[in-house]
Structure 1
Amino acid sequence: MVLLTQLPLEIVNHVLSFVDPEDLSRVNTTCQYLYHAVKDNSALFRAVYLRHLDAPPPKTELNWVQEIKDLVKLKRICASENPERSKYLPFVYDTTSRLLQHATSQGVRPRPSVTFGASQNISILRECFSSESTVHAFLCSSFLFQRASTPVKNFVFPKQPPTEKRQMSAKLHCLYGVPVLNFNRLRSSRTYPFAISKVYDIREYTTQTRWGPFMDEGPGPIGTEINQDGRQGLPSDRVDWEKVEAIMIVLWHNLKTKGLDRLPVFNQFWGMPFAGCWPNSYIPEPINRDITDLELKDPYDVTGTWLRVVCFLDYNDFFGYNFPPHDDLPDHLPRHALDEVEATRLIVVKIRVTKIEPPGSEDGQALPVVHYEGFSKSLDSSLDENANSGLTGEVSVKGSVRLTREGEVRWTSHSIFNGQERWRSESIQVGGLRSSKVVGNWFDKDYDPSGPVGPTAFWKISDRQPGSRDDHITEHDYRAIIDGLEENIDLGRVDDDEEAGLLGVFQINSDDEEYEDAEDDDNEEEDEDDDFASDDGTYVLAQMTSQGLDEK
């Protein structure tokens, strides 16, 4: 019988490539031969990496030995119960970020509402962060959690820029993708009141932040109080991940409050760790999508149908919070925790690329600027002008996508009503290029210092169907939204007076804490134009029945 140590090194390498990464360090302690066979053997570590993790994107150069060592260390840190392990936050942040950057989607969509495929890297990260204690140790170190755990009553120092570690923790939380709404069992540990206080604090919306989720850095307009010496310069456009974190907490709280977390199209993006939060995670649907020559040059994959959520406070509540009588709160102090009920709107947005141009001096130079136009339609039955700006297909949404100077994907959008721009939003794509969630702030297009403002997010759900029109929302555009309605959703009992149907889960009137069941309209006739909007402005999904969509 031939011993392992008597085999050629090539065969030994092949055998050892089946060893788990954690066991390689044990193998090289068994004997001198295996020690030299394993130590700094880049080919072996590469084989182990490719067997247990995703093959990295093309042209990616990795130190295979170091990647495996860091993976093993990450697993050990996350599995540890040592209360001091939070000191490894920079390492956990760097290693997790690399695993996400090197992740690749595999296969096709598992279902219409899931726009990303399987990934071995993501499976490993989900296992690493499966413990609540690990989530709290590394994802809950931002100022928001510090406020929630130990409310600060007195500040003696002026406002300071966010620390690097707080930003690391907040970004990890955003990439993790499931906002932490409670960090222990006490009601006082709820994060929502502190997140909403940050999101609706008008002082967060400045020229330097572009009224979006960016750092309050860089010179303001010449002659203002913050730039009296005439300094020239641009806002830094560095993402403030603590702002993004607060926005995501507010949105997820509202989605859960309305019962929308039961729908796959929301739960798959907001209730599943690391859901599509890596570059190029988006999988087109349909595979044979209709794409123009101009769209082939679009690196951001803009054209298609997107689902958007927008939240806002009653303006009286917003104004009273930001402009109370005898307000003498210093700028370096956060406003008190807020716990008001918000309105929530779900909006389908259909957009297409209209122009591509080189990046400007304020942009990242690696990719072009892509401009788009389209229209939007509310999914809420209580239709209002804020959500529906182009029911007949006229241009109601326009905007652009570009890189920031630090390489993040920045979205700017404009909402148009009766030919006039009214609202604007600034957002950041959390996972990078062609990833899942785009998160940011909406506000008045004239940057009104009295508001209103609020949080928003959107994510792509489908592409252009061959032969379809860009000025209509069709059956195909809704497939991801209604996916799983019949099989997974308990819509409640049906009584004699009111029937609970598929639409009930979408009835999220702004002043209710829970969703309301829609009333069945037996008199509604089928629209002739393959368009799910009726002439009288009723709910756009009203043609859906318990049997699903009628084939057109």
Structure 2
Amino acid sequence: MISTVPPELTERILALCHPKDVAAYTQTCRRAYTLVYQSSDQYLWQTLFLDYPFDDPRPPSATPPTPSTSTTTAATPSQNVDWRTKLQRRVRAESIARRDDDAGGDRREFVDVLLECIREAAPKGPAREPSPSRPSHNISWVTNLLTLEESPWIKKCLRLGPLESPSPAGPLAPDIEQLRSLLSLSLDRGVGAEAPEELRLLRRMSRAYSYVLRHYVKEEDYGPFTHGCECVNWTHVNAMITVMTMNLRDFGVHWPKEFKPQAIVQGLEACRPFSAPGLLKRAPRDWAGVEGQWMRIVSFCDYRDLIRFNNSGCDSNFFDDEYQEASRLLRLSLRIVSVESDPKVLETLPDPSRPPITFGGTMRGFNSDDVLNRAIRGNVQVMKDGNIRWSYVAIYNRHDQWSSEGVQIGGACSAAGIVGAWCGAQHEQGDSTGPFWLFRAEDPRERNQTARVQKGNQRK
């Protein structure tokens, strides 16, 4: 009876099923197996993937394919994506998450799938149809998976701090630390001594890692990098995000919501590309969303405490639950100075479509009396590992005063912003250092225009 149903109709019926049911169907006969696994196109797998639902990983301009009606179907944009493999890996990740053991060797695959899912979250902005304000399917899936009550091993694996990692040594550790960094954007509730013991321990360890002066060396450009600055040191980034997030939570209502990094408000949603505010008039060459208004939060401990901590063995217990750092809010206005265009240089880059950008601007205290105006000079570029690096110096009285090295959290132009470390521009022994968080601020002049564009898109 099944053999009399046209293949295109069978595909449409299977497209309404769960992928596991489709896999079960392939066990019924050779024809079923051939139709599902040996089709000349991936219409079925693409439909199953998008209806699961997951975000479409293709650029918005790509067009959807049609069901196969013959073995000579022309190539379609969907063939640039291995829909079958992507879906199978994500369904398997769900099974791994629900295991009652520690997942063992499957952790690597699980973490890799989650990071891929976050990286491929749909860009957010007025150009995205049908609704730019719709939450990402990918982010929702990741969030749901990580909050499964029957998966205690996930919390144990991903919630511990940078100095007590249950992850095995080797290639897996950087992936877990990167995922931990993203999850630190939305830490559990609780501040100061009232925070859960796990978070208080995490904060102590993160402070200890962030304020160890030997972590800032010339070989890594005094920032959160490794392997000669070719890769991000996600252990370091995770520690700095945790320090900044916990400090801001201590301020509570005394630190206005509109001046907090959107990552604290939105969580993983803030990692989506182009989710930052103030991008409506972004120039095509400004792939990193440099130009515009920014907020910068810096944290630092008393210099005497910094030296005493480093001279006493860097014990994390130095930072007890009552310890408080100072935090400052700064305003920046940035503009592009130049964009690399030399063909010989571009062909050597990890991503020639995103050439290095040199920028300048000004920085001042949030209150005019806080910090005098300082000039800013810096650049943004794609690293060999694909991450986006921001480097800049603050100039006062014609002299470089402070340098900052940071990493974009999430995709380009994400609301999560840039997290990194600041220190003295001359990098002298004993220089002060600490974490910073740089994020775009909304331009009030664009707020109403953005709302009108989004409302128009929703009506289409």
Which TM-score applies when normalising by structure 1? 0.66
Aligned: 1:256 with 2:263 = no
Tell me, in whole angstroms, the C-alpha distance in 2 between the residues paired with 1:313 and 1:362.
41
Name 1:456's counterpart in structure 2.
436
Aligned: 1:47 with 2:64 = no
Work out whether residues 142 and 167 of structure 1, in 8 Å CA contact, stay in contact via their aligned partners in 2: no
How well do the aligned residues superpose, as a CA RMSD in angstroms?
3.5
SS at 2:317 equivalent: coil
Tell me, in whole angstroms, the C-alpha distance in 2 between the residues paired with 1:124 and 1:22.
17
Q: Which of residues 193, 201, 204 in structure 1 aligns to 2:204?
A: 193
| Deviation of 1:317 (Å) | 1.2
Name 2:269's counterpart in structure 1.
275
Q: Counterpart amino acid of 2:178?
A: K
1:484-516 Cα offsets, whole Å, 9 max, x none, are xxxxxxxxxxxxxxxxxxxxxxxxxxxxxxxxx
Which TM-score applies when normalising by structure 2? 0.78
| Deviation of 1:401 (Å) | 0.5
Aligned: 1:445 with 2:425 = yes
Which runs of structure 2 are paired with 1:36-75 in the superposition (5 Å)? 36-41=34-39, 42-51=42-51, 52-58=53-59, 61-75=80-94
Q: Which of residues 287, 291, 295 in structure 2 aligns to 1:299?
A: 287
SS at 2:246 equivalent: helix
Change over 3 Å in CA distance of 1:135–1:417 after alignment to 2? farther
Q: Which has the larger radius of gyration?
A: 1
Work out whether residues 177 and 271 of structure 1, in 8 Å CA contact, stay in contact via their aligned partners in 2: no
Name 2:110's counterpart in structure 1.
92
Which runs of structure 2 are paired with 1:100-179 in the superposition (5 Å)? 100-105=118-123, 108=126, 118-131=135-148, 133=152, 135-140=154-159, 143-146=162-165, 163-178=170-185
Work out whether residues 439 and 456 of structure 1, in 8 Å CA contact, stay in contact via their aligned partners in 2: yes
| Deviation of 1:74 (Å) | 1.0
| Deviation of 1:273 (Å) | 3.9
Work out whether residues 116 and 276 of structure 1, in 8 Å CA contact, stay in contact via their aligned partners in 2: no
Name 1:155's counterpart in structure 2.
none
Name 2:13's counterpart in structure 1.
15
Change over 3 Å in CA distance of 1:377–1:270 after alignment to 2? same
| Deviation of 1:303 (Å) | 0.8
| Deviation of 1:135 (Å) | 4.4
Tell me, in whole angstroms, the C-alpha distance in 1 between the residues paired with 2:279 and 2:384.
33
Query: Between the two proteins, what is the percent identity of the paired residues?
Result: 22
| Deviation of 1:34 (Å) | 4.2
Change over 3 Å in CA distance of 1:20–1:350 after alignment to 2? farther
Change over 3 Å in CA distance of 1:45–1:146 after alignment to 2? closer
Unaligned 5+ runs, structure 2: 60-76, 449-460
Aligned: 1:425 with 2:425 = no
SS at 1:144 equivalent: coil
SS at 1:276 equivalent: helix
Change over 3 Å in CA distance of 1:185–1:341 after alignment to 2? closer
1:306-348 Cα offsets, whole Å, 9 max, x none, are 2221111111211221235xxxx5xxxx644332311111222
Work out whether residues 319 and 450 of structure 1, in 8 Å CA contact, stay in contact via their aligned partners in 2: yes
Q: Counterpart amino acid of 1:439?
A: V
Change over 3 Å in CA distance of 1:312–1:360 after alignment to 2? farther
User: Number of residues paired by the alignment?
Assistant: 410
Name 1:515's counterpart in structure 2.
none
Name 1:266's counterpart in structure 2.
260
Q: Counterpart amino acid of 1:384?
A: D
Q: Which of residues 342, 346, 357 in structure 1 aligns to 2:329?
A: 346
Q: Which of residues 233, 236, 239 in structure 2 aligns to 1:240?
A: 233
Q: Which has the higher helix share?
A: 2
Name 2:373's counterpart in structure 1.
389
